[in-house]
Each structure stands twice: as C-alpha cells, then as structure tokens.
C-alpha cells in the first residue's frame, strides 16, 4: 500500500543542474528593512528550510523568489534566468500571509473552487466535493477556512498550488504559524520534493531545531554566501508531535498526481468519526501507513473531531492565486 503521488513537476525540473538561486537579496520598506540580504540555492527534488524570526522577511523573501517583488539588492534566478515573468510562471507561493492566504471566513469549498479554476479544472460544487473527498477532506467542505485543521489546510493548499500548469517551485511561507508539530508540514514538503518539485519552506528557527534539519538563515548572507543546503529528502530524526499526516488505503486507485491527507487518531484513543472514513473507500484508520518522517504521537483533545455542519456561505473577496503580479517599483 502506497500513498498517491502529488502532481509531478514539469520534466525540466528533473535537470540536476536546475536551481532557484537568490544572491544577496534584500528588500527595503518605507519604514525600514523588510528583508536583510539573504542567499540560497534550492534544487529540484529537495526541501530547503529558511529560518528566521517572525517579521524578519518571510513574506518579502517569498515574493522576491516568485518574481512578484523587485529586490533593492541582489538577484533571483531560475536556471540562470532572472526574468520575473518566468519566475512568476514557475514559482508558486503557498498560503503566504497577505498574498495567497485565503480569507479565514470563506468556506473551504470556495477556496478550493478558486484554486481549481486557476489549475484549469472543474469548479462545480460536485467537482470541488469530489476533489476534497479524494483527499479525505470532504467533512470540511462547508467549514470556514479558519476552522480547517492545520495539517489538512497545508496539505490541500500545497496540492492545489502544485497542480497549476507550469509550476516547478513551491514556496511555503511560515506554515508553523498555524501551530501543531513541524513534522506535518515537513511531510507535505517532502512528498512534493519526491515528485520532482523544488520546495522552499520559511519557518522559525525553533521549528528548524525541532526538525533537526539544517536551514539557511533569513537575512544571513550577502551575494555569494550560499549556506550548504540539507541533503535531498532529508528528514527530521525522531520527530514527535500531536498530529500525524497519513496515507490511507485505497490511495492507489486515486487519479495520478493527487495526494490524500487524513488526520490519524492514535490507537487506544477514544473512538470518534474520522474525516474521510465514511466515504466507502476503505480509508478507515486501521491499516493506514504513516508517511516517511513521522511517528504516531498523542494529539490534543478534539483535534480530529469533524467540524460542525453549519453551511457557511460567502463570496470571494481575496486573491488566492499567488499568480498575479505584485511587483514593487522603486
């Protein structure tokens, strides 16, 4: 039994010489420095952590890497090309605060529908429900986005970004701000790296330390100062935490290029309905296989309780694409 694979990166991303490179990238704001000089090199098939304190430039770095913010110093290149238009096509910013982070009050179905539209897929209510059901997340279809558990939220948003045509690089921005264990979003990032994507994750230094993974320091280098990136598919040693992302049985029958995410209740815990187990697809907790890099661990009470059935409706007032140009002019 194996988990379904994420959308595969374009074939050009399999080139071992291909790389997303930032050399001494810095951004100034109206009232001070938004991003101190930062250098990094991220390659296909790997996850690169960039660690820094909140407010030290997580969003500014993500936008600069994606060609959506013009740096005041330094350069960003993809395969040696610094064309911002190419960066915007190839680099997706995932759940970035104030940019591609969905409005918290929107129903999950609205958020997913908008993202599926950008990927050129069906956006009917049935199509959205089926897409969520294939990932064990149909229980949250009517829930407000802010009520979706962090592991499910991160997994869904990353899968949606990866499904956009031409995307080769995924930049997850401060996923640890949602709480929980870093292992959950590390698993999501690693799964997409194994599919050939270049994955960059910004996080706090504390999260990087908990994972035991080397990290580039946000604002820690001028041009040419490239810290040694972690090994390909590197993973934390002895990870622990309250939640575990797992791959259910029946995943082999899912369409190629789609992932499925569930929350696991540790054996011996009080029985409760599991999101995705009432779909008749054989995805019950028994027999599920933990994705690489995770171990079962206790979780806080009610962490996996399905949400209420309140039909929260709304219209989108937020741009969730991350594909629109937000280029800053000097």
Q: Encode 81-123 in three state secondary structure.
A: ECCHHHHHHHEEEECCCCCCCCCCCCEHHHHHHHHHHHCCCCC
pLDDT above 60: residue 163: yes
Rounded CA-CA distance 26/35 in Å is 5
Residue 107: what pLDDT? 92
- Within a domain: 176: yes
| 300 is a domain residue | no
pLDDT of residue 89: 95
Q: Which residues pair with 255 in a beta bridge?
A: none
Residue 130 inside a domain? The answer is yes
Confidence (pTM): 0.66
- The answer to which of 12-21, 47-56, 57-66, 162-171 has the lowest mean pLDDT is 12-21
**Distance (Å) of CA 58 to CA 12, 31, 236, 275, 299:** 27, 17, 22, 32, 28
What is the domain range of residue 70? Answer: 11-217
Provide φ and ψ at 42, rounded to 5°: -115, 135
Q: Whole-angstrom Cα distance, residue 8 to residue 163?
A: 8
Q: Is residue 298 in some structural domain? A: no
Task: Specify the CATH number for the domain of residue 41.
Answer: 3.40.50.300
Q: Which of 67, 77, 64 is nearest to 36 (CA)?
A: 64
Kindly report, residue by residue over 212-259, the tens digit of the pLDDT. 999 999 998 754 445 544 444 444 433 333 222 333 223 333 233 323
Q: Residue 51: pLDDT above 80?
A: yes
Residue 254 lies inside a defined structural domain of this protein: no
What are the tens digits of pLDDT across the range 264-281? 323 333 333 333 333 333
- Interval 129-152 mean pLDDT: 91
Q: What is the domain count for the chain?
A: 1
Asked if the model's pLDDT at residue 50 lies above 60, the reply is yes
C-alpha closest to that of 305 among 250, 240, 246, 243: 243
């Amino acid at each position: 039994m194996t988990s379904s694979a994420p959308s595969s990166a374009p074939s050009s991303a399999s080139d071992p010489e291909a790389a997303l490179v930032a050399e001494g990238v810095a951004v100034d704001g109206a009232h001070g420095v938004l991003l101190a000089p930062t250098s990094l090199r991220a390659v296909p098939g790997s996850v690169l952590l960039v660690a820094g304190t909140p407010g030290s430039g997580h969003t500014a770095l993500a936008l600069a890497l994606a060609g959506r913010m013009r740096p005041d110093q330094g350069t960003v290149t993809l395969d040696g090309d610094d064309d911002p238009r190419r960066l915007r096509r190839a680099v997706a910013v995932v759940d970035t605060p104030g940019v591609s982070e969905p409005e918290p009050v929107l129903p999950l179905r609205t958020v997913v529908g908008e993202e599926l539209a950008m990927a050129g897929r069906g956006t009917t209510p049935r199509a959205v429900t089926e897409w969520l059901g294939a990932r064990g997340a149909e229980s949250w279809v009517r829930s407000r986005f802010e009520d979706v558990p962090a592991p499910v939220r991160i997994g869904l948003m990353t899968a949606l970004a990866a499904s956009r045509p031409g995307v080769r690089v995924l930049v997850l921005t401060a996923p640890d701000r949602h709480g929980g264990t870093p292992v959950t979003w590390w698993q999501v990032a690693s799964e997409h790296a194994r599919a050939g994507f270049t994955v960059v994750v910004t996080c706090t230094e504390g999260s990087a330390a908990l994972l035991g993974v080397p990290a580039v320091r946000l604002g820690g280098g001028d041009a040419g100062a490239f810290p040694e990136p972690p090994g390909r598919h590197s993973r934390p040693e002895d990870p622990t935490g309250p939640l575990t992302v797992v791959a259910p049985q029946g995943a082999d029958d899912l369409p190629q290029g789609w992932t499925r995410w569930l929350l696991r209740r540790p054996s011996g815990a009080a029985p409760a309905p599991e999101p995705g187990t009432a779909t008749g697809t054989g995805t019950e907790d028994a027999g599920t296989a933990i994705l690489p890099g995770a171990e079962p661990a206790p979780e806080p009470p009610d962490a996996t309780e399905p949400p209420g059935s309140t039909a929260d409706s709304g219209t989108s007032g937020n741009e969730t694409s991350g594909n629109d140009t937000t280029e800053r002019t000097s």
